Chains A and B, each alone.
Chain A
Amino acid sequence: MDTQNSRTDVMDRLTQSGQHGVLRFLTCGSVDDGKSTLIGRLLFDSKLLFEDQINVLERDSRKHGTAGDEIDFALLLDGLEAEREQGITIDVAYRFFATEKRKFVVADTPGHEQYTRNMATGASTADVAVMMIDARKGVLVQTLRHTYIARMMGIRHIVLAVNKMDLVEHGRTRFHEIVADYMKNAEELGFETITPIPMSARYGDNVTRHSESMSWYKGPTLIEHLEDLDVTTDIESEPFRMPVQWVNRPNLNFRGYSGTIVSGKVKPGDAIVVSQSGLAANVERIVTADGDLEMAQAGDAVTLVLNHEIDISRGDVLAAAEERPEVSDQFAAEILWMAEDDLLPGRSYLLKIGTASTPATISALKHKVDINTYEKKPSRKLEMNGIGMCNVSTARPIAFDPYHTIRDMGAFILIDRFTNQTVGAGMISFGLRRASNIHHHAMDVTKADRAQLKAQKPAILWFTGLSGAGKSTVANIVERKLATAGHHTYSLDGDNVRHGLNRDLGFTDEDRVENIRRIGEVGKLFVEAGLLVTCSFISPFRSERRMVRELVEEGEFIEVFVDTPLEVCMERDPKGLYKKAKAGEIKNFTGFDSPYEEPEAPEIRVDTTSISAEEAADQVIAKLKELGRLG
């Protein structure tokens, strides 16, 4: 046997089977709609289940199944033990099967509203959404919700799978009724295709074979439709973009930039720029381990060598010189919130877009979307699974394109800076021009000049701790001692801020965050003025203290943790507030019914139970000297 020939034959046969490429689709709907049954049926009918898997399935069906003696296909997918026991699907599962024409990846996602985030996760990588509808129930609120999420995530093709047709006597009228009802709501959302198919997943009708009971239906079966659906995008004809992942430097003679091209094409000789800095160069080589390429395009993971050295690092976006992405630190984005703690405007999160990461805050929540009715509603926070249109402000400018134009250039995640959880997913709509219109005016007298006149290095002394811990008492003595020694100071505390600048704010979590943000900005101005600023605020959240720390330069934020145990504070109760809190007259009282997050690494920690306030102040001043802030 000629092995070379045989190898080519086998390769041809394999290539043939994947001629239509890979289709990634998502199934939406609740367990009751027969979603898992549908996927199980697809795997079963495409002969992708192996004998040992079927054996396990039969065993599990007898134990946990809901289909009597028949195989319960849902059990095949609900992989986690808890789900099998409870009969629900709580996470995204990915399944693989193939037909003669195409390979398929199915994201099976849960249907209930509390799993919106799971569905969005599955949708983020899918080309098609299969919307399951129970023919008896018709279009439900959840159908509209799933449709909205699919659209938001940029899915362009919908299959309306009207399932359980066997339970409505395979009725043609019922089917058309449901389709009309759905179209009324979905048509305006701008999907490229919406394909309704009547089916019965349990029996395989119109899933993999045409149904005899529904001979009135002349369209394709689900699998025929999915095999032939053209999901190619024009992402290759968008302008060239490649976020740099890794700088490839094996030796002094080679310097390449490795990354995945997210849109457009690139050829040796093309003029490119670093989006953020505007530095320009030409592509010299497109390097891969399989040899240099003459052209690379969206989806390719390559290493680019440029004709001359310019400053490029991870997070930079290489782009076509003549068609550059927007670069801004302000933009509008639709955000899906995925964490149990609410999204709070003003709080600092870590934003990751492409290969760039930067601290970011939501500067405004413009409206929230009720995804069941598509109504826009004003709101001051987003709860888990909430969706809102937000203005986002980043610490450093980022390069981006609108999500619906170049997905990878407009998609970002938000990460909680303390738990490191992924808490939000965002899709950029457009840049806000404000950033480019407010230019910093260079003043002749600088912060350094002002500080020099005062013979000190300005700083924010941030006293944090529970109510009654002694923050203001210690801060007061510190300021007195500094002033006596000839230093220039100012003090900010709840009394002079809450009654003026922040009198519109209450004590909810979102107002507390905004309160601290404003104080931080004022403190920063005083630091610019060259002052030593004492700030005494409970400031219960680590993220807000960190946000203030990042507003000023390294070394200018000195955190003083006035560490007094809650019992001691309650006993002192100088303003009688704990008494009121206990009586239920004050809500959201820190340490009582609202959390206090202790500093992890404060510059100074004072223990007011073992030393006097005078001694504590002396400790603070000694530390200031040590840090070189007093000239």
Chain B
Amino acid sequence: MSIQSDVRNYAERFKSAKLRERPLSAHLKALEAESIHIMREVASEFSNPVMLYSIGKDSAVMLHLALKAFYPSRPPFPLQHVDTTFKFRDMITYRDALAEALGLELRVEVNQEAVDRGVNPWDSGSQLHTQLLKTEALRAAMNRHGYDAAFGGARRDEEKSRAKERIFSFRDTNHGWDPKNQRPELWRNYNTKIRKGESIRVFPLSNWTELDIWQYILEDDIPIVPLYYAAHRPVVERDGQIIMVDDERLPLKDGEKPDLRMVRFRTLGCYPLTGAIESSAQSLEEIVLEMLTARTSERSGRLIDHDEAGSMEKKKREGYF
């Protein structure tokens, strides 16, 4: 099945709510209810919320939860994608098809100035690339549209600094995060008060684990970008990471030739910065079974996290997701 027909079938489901054949697992039901509660709080208490949509599996789940939270209404906020222009091509195809099928407003922010100056991961380095094309572009989008709340798909199990972040995470007028001055967050009683120019990042998936995400995608049959499934793809191996040659921009080193290998991705980002894993998992079931025996964390395929242990916290202070 094509991406297009997949997402069209998906959109149909939200037009005629049919009772599930198999009830959701109890713990997923609790996680789902918590996320829906969080989303409704945001829709009620903020005047200009947005969903930061990054196309990956976590975003797919987050969007799915939003479709459920406000049913039969549409989610009362647009999607905002920050496009570095180095995303996998399949991600963009999926993104556009999904937004169209669901009739959702999709806003795309590109740091055109940096793109025109030729910023890219291999010449500029991953740090500058991320700073300019991702963090700066996100700040620009926040400022341009004046969002007062932004949903992000981060989970606490992903990374150490995220384990300590609030579900409603305050950002100052410069979009900075102050880890030492976070608001206490008790029960499900969220403080949504901010002044003009300040904003809140909201993480409705905070308490989900990677396995929960996959189990939910499986049980609720949520379409995801095909790159998560194993297929023969042209790749090169660099510094122990398998990098897909997704388009002609990736410069090949002398003597380097793309191989066709059976690979898939556990997370999706900029293709030159996202390592694939060798896998034969071509279905959701196989992916979940593979997950259950995995011995490396999903972010190990993310080259930008590896600088040093505190690197994510640094990025977040500067306004990264």
Q: What residues make up the interface of A, taking CB atoms closer than 8 Å to B?
A: 3, 6-7, 9-11, 14-15, 18, 21-22, 50-53, 56, 59-60, 76-77, 79-82, 84, 90-96, 98, 103, 105, 117-118, 120-121, 124-125, 245-246, 248-250, 254, 256, 258-260, 287-292, 299-301, 303, 314, 338, 350, 352-355, 407-408, 411-413, 415, 420-422, 425
* B182 x A91 contact (CB < 8 A): yes
Distance between Cα atoms of A59 and B160 in the complex (Å): 15
* A412 x B300 contact (CB < 8 A): no
* A246 x B43 contact (CB < 8 A): yes
* A10 x B288 contact (CB < 8 A): yes
* A6 x B285 contact (CB < 8 A): yes
* A254 x B164 contact (CB < 8 A): no
- B22 CB-CB contact with A under 8 Å: yes
| Stretch touching chain A among B50-58, B68-76, B77-85, B247-255 | B68-76
Q: Which residue of A lies closest to B72 (CB)?
A: A250
Distance from B69 Cβ to chain A, minimum over Cβ atoms (Å) = 7
Distance between Cα atoms of A341 and B200 in the complex (Å): 23
Distance between Cα atoms of A444 and B297 in the complex (Å): 75
Q: Which of B145-189 contact A (CB under 8 A)?
A: 156-157, 160-164, 179-180, 182-189
Q: Which residue of A lies closest to B209 (CB)?
A: A96
* A420 x B191 contact (CB < 8 A): yes
| Stretch touching chain A among B2-10, B12-20, B100-108, B126-134 | B12-20
Return chain B residues, CB-CB under 8 Å to A303: 71
Total of A-B residue pairs, C-beta within 8 Å:
197
Distance between Cα atoms of A173 and B321 in the complex (Å): 53
Return chain B residues, CB-CB under 8 Å to A290: 17-20, 24, 68
Return chain B residues, CB-CB under 8 Å to A21: 26-27, 30
- B40 CB-CB contact with A under 8 Å: yes
Distance between Cα atoms of A399 and B18 in the complex (Å): 35
Q: Which of B100-148 contact A (CB under 8 A)?
A: none
* A50 x B184 contact (CB < 8 A): no
Return chain A residues, CB-CB under 8 Å to B295: 50-51
Distance between Cα atoms of A413 and B33 in the complex (Å): 22
Indicate the member of A51, A76, A245 with the most B CB atoms within 10 Å. A245
* B283 x A53 contact (CB < 8 A): no
Distance between Cα atoms of A292 and B193 in the complex (Å): 34
* B285 x A291 contact (CB < 8 A): no
* B160 x A245 contact (CB < 8 A): no
Q: What residues make up the interface of B, taking CB atoms closer than 8 Å to A?
A: 14, 17-20, 22, 24-27, 29-30, 32-33, 36-37, 40-41, 43-44, 67-74, 156-157, 160-164, 179-180, 182-189, 191, 193-195, 206-207, 209, 211, 215, 218-219, 283-285, 288-289, 294-297, 300, 309-310, 313
Contact of B74 among A52, A76, A250, A292 (CB under 8 A): A250
21 interchain pairs, CB-CB under 8 A: A10-B218, A11-B218, A18-B25, A51-B295, A77-B163, A79-B161, A80-B161, A93-B160, A94-B156, A95-B157, A121-B184, A249-B73, A250-B74, A260-B33, A260-B36, A260-B37, A288-B71, A292-B17, A301-B33, A352-B191, A354-B189
Distance from A212 Cβ to chain B, minimum over Cβ atoms (Å) = 29
* A52 x B296 contact (CB < 8 A): yes
Q: Which residue of B lies closest to A124 (CB)?
A: B186
* B207 x A105 contact (CB < 8 A): yes
* A124 x B187 contact (CB < 8 A): yes
* B189 x A314 contact (CB < 8 A): no
Q: Which residue of A lies closest to B68 (CB)?
A: A289
Distance from B153 Cβ to chain A, minimum over Cβ atoms (Å) = 16
Q: Which residue of A lies closest to B163 (CB)?
A: A93
Distance between Cα atoms of A124 and B68 in the complex (Å): 27
* B184 x A117 contact (CB < 8 A): yes
Q: Knowing A79-B160, A93-B163, A301-B32, say if A51 contacts B25 (CB, 8 Å).
A: no
Contact of B25 among A15, A411, A412 (CB under 8 A): A15
Distance from B204 Cβ to chain A, minimum over Cβ atoms (Å) = 12
Return chain B residues, CB-CB under 8 Å to A300: 29, 33
Q: Which residue of A lies closest to B41 (CB)?
A: A245
Distance between Cα atoms of A584 and B175 in the complex (Å): 43
Distance between Cα atoms of A299 and B27 in the complex (Å): 11
Q: 6 shortest A-B CB distances, which residue pairs?
A: A79-B160, A291-B19, A289-B71, A50-B297, A301-B36, A124-B186
* B191 x A120 contact (CB < 8 A): no
* A18 x B26 contact (CB < 8 A): yes
* A50 x B186 contact (CB < 8 A): no
Distance between Cα atoms of A87 and B40 in the complex (Å): 39
* B17 x A291 contact (CB < 8 A): yes
* B72 x A10 contact (CB < 8 A): no
Q: Which residue of A lies closest to B289 (CB)?
A: A10
* B72 x A96 contact (CB < 8 A): no
* A415 x B44 contact (CB < 8 A): no
Distance between Cα atoms of A67 and B288 in the complex (Å): 36
Distance between Cα atoms of A366 and B111 in the complex (Å): 58
Return chain A residues, CB-CB under 8 Å to B37: 245, 260, 301
Indicate the member of B18, B72, B300 with the most A CB atoms within 10 Å. B72
* A413 x B191 contact (CB < 8 A): yes
Distance from A157 Cβ to chain B, minimum over Cβ atoms (Å) = 18
Distance from A341 Cβ to chain B, minimum over Cβ atoms (Å) = 14
* B193 x A350 contact (CB < 8 A): yes
Q: Which residue of B lies closest to A8 (CB)?
A: B22
Distance from B239 Cβ to chain A, minimum over Cβ atoms (Å) = 14
Indicate the member of B40, B74, B194 with the most A CB atoms within 10 Å. B40
* B193 x A415 contact (CB < 8 A): yes
Q: Which residue of A lies closest to B221 (CB)?
A: A7
Distance between Cα atoms of A105 and B19 in the complex (Å): 30
* B189 x A413 contact (CB < 8 A): yes
Contact of A56 among B74, B182, B215, B309 (CB under 8 A): B309
Distance from A182 Cβ to chain B, minimum over Cβ atoms (Å) = 26
Distance between Cα atoms of A292 and B20 in the complex (Å): 10
Distance between Cα atoms of A118 and B183 in the complex (Å): 10
Distance between Cα atoms of A98 and B211 in the complex (Å): 10
Distance between Cα atoms of A572 and B234 in the complex (Å): 82
* B294 x A50 contact (CB < 8 A): yes
Distance from B95 Cβ to chain A, minimum over Cβ atoms (Å) = 22
Return chain B residues, CB-CB under 8 Å to A79: 160-164, 313
Return chain B residues, CB-CB under 8 Å to A105: 207
Contact of B283 among A3, A56, A120, A408 (CB under 8 A): A3
* A352 x B189 contact (CB < 8 A): yes
Return chain B residues, CB-CB under 8 Å to A103: 27, 209
* A93 x B72 contact (CB < 8 A): no
Return chain A residues, CB-CB under 8 Å to B40: 245-246, 258-259, 301
16 A-B pairs besides A95-B163, A124-B186 with CB distance below 8 A are: A3-B285, A14-B215, A22-B27, A50-B294, A81-B313, A94-B164, A120-B186, A125-B188, A245-B44, A301-B69, A303-B71, A314-B44, A407-B187, A408-B188, A420-B195, A422-B186
Distance between Cα atoms of A288 and B25 in the complex (Å): 16
Q: Knowing A80-B161, A250-B72, say if A291 contacts B184 (CB, 8 Å).
A: no
Distance between Cα atoms of A241 and B73 in the complex (Å): 23
Indicate the member of A92, A121, A354, A422 with the most B CB atoms within 10 Å. A422
* A90 x B186 contact (CB < 8 A): no
Distance from B62 Cβ to chain A, minimum over Cβ atoms (Å) = 15
Distance between Cα atoms of A303 and B70 in the complex (Å): 9
* A289 x B14 contact (CB < 8 A): yes
* B183 x A421 contact (CB < 8 A): yes
Return chain B residues, CB-CB under 8 Å to A408: 187-188
Return chain A residues, CB-CB under 8 Å to B313: 79-81
Indicate the member of B27, B160, B219 with the most A CB atoms within 10 Å. B160
Contact of A118 among B43, B184, B193, B211 (CB under 8 A): B184
